[in-house]
Structure 1
Amino acid sequence: MPRTKEQYEEMRNATRQKIQSAGMRLFVQKGFGSTNVQDIADAAGISIGLLYRHYKTKDSLFNELVEFALDGLTQIIQTFEDADSPKKLMTQFVDEIYHDMQEGEELANLLILMNQLFFSGDGANRKQAEVLEVNGRLLRSTAALIKKGQETGDFRSGDAHEMAVLFYSALQGLADMKVILKNDFVMPSPSVLTLFLFKEGA
C-alpha cells in the first residue's frame, strides 16, 4: 500500500530532526569548523545524499539551529515584557530550565552553539549581529523584570542589570559543565539558582 502524503511528511520531519540533533551534537563537541557534512550524515545514520536533500550546506543547518534558539529567546523576551507577577514568572522560567538541563542535552547544546558564533572564524559569524541584538533585548527585559520584582518587594535589592548578567552567565557556565562532566554533572536546584534573586520569606 503506497504511503500517504502525511506519512511522507512525517518521515521527512523525522529525518530532519535526526540531522539537527546530529549536527548540534557535533558542532558542540568538535566545533563548527571541524565538523563536515559527512560527519553529520554518519552521526544521523543517513546517506550524504539524503542530508543534501534537506540542507545544501552545513552553514544552512547551523543557521537553522541558531534561528530555532533565537525564536525561543524572542518568546522569553515577550513573556518577560508582559509579566504581571515577576516572581511567579521567574520561578516558572527557572523550573523549566532546571527540567530541561536535567532531562536532556538540547538546552545546554543550544547555549553552547550560540556561544560558538563568537569563537568561530568562518561563515557562522554572519549571525553574530542578530544574536547580539536578541541577547541585548533579553538582558534588558530580564533586568526590567528584576526591577519590577524589586519594586514589589519579592526580589533582593541590587543593580538589576548586573543581576541579569550574573543569571545568564551562570546558565552558560552550567551548559559548559554539563557537556564537560557528562554523567558527573549535577544541576543546581531552582532554589540555588534563584538564591541571589529572591528575598527570603518573600
Structure 2
Amino acid sequence: MPRTKEQFEEMRKATRDKIQFAAMQLFVQKGFGSTNVQEIADLADISIGLLYRHYKTKEELFNELVDYSSEGIKEIINLFEQEYSPKKLIKQFVDVVYNDMKNDEELANLLVLLAQSFLSGAANIKQDEIIQLNIKALQATAKLIERGQSLGEFRPGNPYELAEYFYSAIQGLAVMKITLKDRFIMPSPSVITAFLFKEGE
C-alpha cells in the first residue's frame, strides 16, 4: 500500500529531527569547525546523501539550530513583558530552567550553541540578529527587575547589571552541565535567585 502525503511528511520530519539532534550533540561537544558532515550522518544513522537532501551545507544546518535557539530568547522576552508580579515571572522562568537542566541536556545544548555561534567561524551566521535579540532580552529583564524593585520584591542594585549577572549564571551552568555530565548538580531555584530576592523570601 503506497504511503500517504502525511506519512511522507512525518518521515521527513523524523529524519530532520535525527539530523538536528546529532548535529547539536556534535557542535556542542566538538565545535562547529571540528565537526564534519559525515560524523553528523553517522550519529544520525543515515546516509550522507540523505543528509544533503535535507541540508545543502553544514552552515545551513547550524543556522537552523541557531534560529531554533533564538526562538527561546523571544519567548523569554514575551514572558518578561507581561504585567504579572515580577517575582512570580522570574520564579516561573527559573523553575523551567531548573527542570530542563536537571532532566535533560536540550536547554544546556541550546545555550552553548548560541554562544558558539560567535566563535564558530561559520559563514552566514546571523550574529547581528543574535546580538540584538540578546540586548532585547537583557533590556526586558532589566525593566522587569526595576519594576520588581519598585514593588519591593527584589534587592536594590543596577537592574541591567543584575540582568547580566542572572543570564551569566544560567549560561555558566549550561557550560558546566555539558562539561561535568553526570557529575553536574543543578543548583536549586532558590540558589539561582538568591542574588535577587530579598532575604527570607
Q: TM-score, normalised by structure 1?
A: 0.96
TM superposition shift of 1:7: 1.5
Letter in 2 for 1:170: A
Partner of 2:7: 7
Q: CA RMSD in A?
A: 1.1
CA distance in 1 between counterparts of 2:110 and 2:8 reads 28
1:87 aligns with 2:82: no
Partner of 1:75: 75
CA distance in 2 between counterparts of 1:42 and 1:81 reads 43
Partner of 1:47: 47
TM superposition shift of 1:127: 1.4
Q: Tell me which stretches of 4 or more aligned residues in structure 1 moved more than 2 Å.
A: none
TM superposition shift of 1:83: 3.1
Partner of 1:98: 98
Letter in 2 for 1:147: E
Q: Is the 8 A contact 1:83 1:145 kept in 2?
A: no
Q: TM-score, normalised by structure 2?
A: 0.96
Partner of 1:193: 192
Residue correspondence of structure 1 range 1-202 to structure 2 within 5 A? 1-123=1-123, 126-202=125-201
CA deviations on 1:141-191 (whole Å, 9 max, x unpaired) are: 001001111111111111111111111111111111101100000000001
Helix, strand or coil at the partner of 1:138: helix
Helix, strand or coil at the partner of 2:155: coil
TM superposition shift of 1:43: 0.7
Q: Is the 8 A contact 1:83 1:89 kept in 2?
A: no
Unpaired segments ≥5 residues, structure 1: none
Unpaired segments ≥5 residues, structure 2: none
Letter in 2 for 1:155: F
CA distance in 2 between counterparts of 1:169 and 1:161 reads 12
TM superposition shift of 1:39: 0.8
Identity %: 63
